[in-house]
Amino acid sequence: MKTRSLALFALLSAAPVFALACAEDPTDADLPAVTDAGKKDSGTKDAGKDSGSTTVDAGSDATVETDSGAIDAGSPDSGVVVDSGAIDAGPADAGAIDAGPRDAGAVDAGPVDAGGGGNCGAGHLVINEFQVAGANANADDEWVEIYNPTNCAVDFATFKLTYRPATGPADGTKDKKFNLAAAPVIPAKGYALLVKSVAAAGNLANATTTYTSAAMAGAGGGLAIFDAANVIVDSVGYGTATNAFIETAVGPVAPANQSVARTPNGTDTNSNTADFKIAVASTPKAAN
């Protein structure tokens, strides 16, 4: 009993002390929280990739800045310079016009292709105009004009011009060839004037070439062009002719110092009467 009383006494005696210890100090609520005053972690930063979910800068700068500079005012591209040289002033192409073979077709009554190829077109050499006597009845002042109506130059070296008397036989035994000083090359749509070597000075000055041997009679006769195969290409009988050089019907005979000419120029209907007229004025080496 005495022991229990002593314990109770001790407990009661200590209670005010406990109460005092538990009472709140009015100054404690204003004290700042104590932070760790230790050193910062001196370890290295995380070297791994940032896999965080931080968003890309969502700033308000939404204006795209455009190049406000002026358009390039510099000089144009000075790279490859355009050739400013003059147009080729070198000589014309000296190569052959046509490197292919010459016309291998059979020889015909048309003109020889002297241009190395190409289309010569229709037509053939024709006796276009002739004079049998000049002023003052000069029988030696004579000439024959040959016209080339084709598109190709023709070398007359492969042809011959022949005179036949008015009644000369068809076998040609009375024919006389015009012996030319030089065989002319007759240009396309051009003329060759064959003049007797003893003709008047004016006609000689205009001659393409001269001839001897043949002598045309004033009253009548015939002229013919033969090709290399001795085939008649063109012919005309005039005046009193009755020979085989006449085409259909005989052409006229002209007075001295006048010519007989195809009218219109170069016309060939194969009728001497229809094609030839006495020229009002002679036109050697020119259109009738």
pLDDT at 2 over 50: no
pLDDT in tens, 28-83: 444 445 444 545 445 544 444 444 444 544 445 444 455 555 555 555 555 554 45
Is 135 inside a domain boundary?
A: yes
pLDDT in tens, 103-120: 544 444 444 544 444 589
pLDDT at 246 over 90: yes
Q: Are strands 143-147 and 185-186 parallel, antiparallel or unpaired?
A: unpaired
Distance of CA 87 to CAs 14, 84, 91, 137, 162, Å?
A: 131, 9, 12, 59, 51
Is 184 inside a domain boundary?
A: yes
Provide the pLDDT for residue 213.
84
**Where does residue 263 rank: exposed (0-12), middle (13-18), buried (19+ CB within 10 A)?**
middle
Which residues span the domain enclosing 231? 126-278
Is 1 inside a domain boundary?
A: no
Q: Between 91 and 202, whose confidence is greater?
A: 202
Is 55 inside a domain boundary?
A: no
Is 147 inside a domain boundary?
A: yes
Distance from C-alpha of 222 to C-alpha of 167, rounded to nearest angstrom: 9
Is 19 inside a domain boundary?
A: no
Give the largest Cα separation in the chain, rounded: 204
Is 283 inside a domain boundary?
A: no
Distance from C-alpha of 179 to C-alpha of 219, rounded to nearest angstrom: 22
Is 157 inside a domain boundary?
A: yes
Total domains in the fold of the chain: 1
| CATH assignment of the domain containing 160 | 2.60.40.1260
| Rg (alpha carbons) of the chain, rounded to whole number | 62
**Within the chain, how many helices (H) and strands (E) appear?**
3, 13
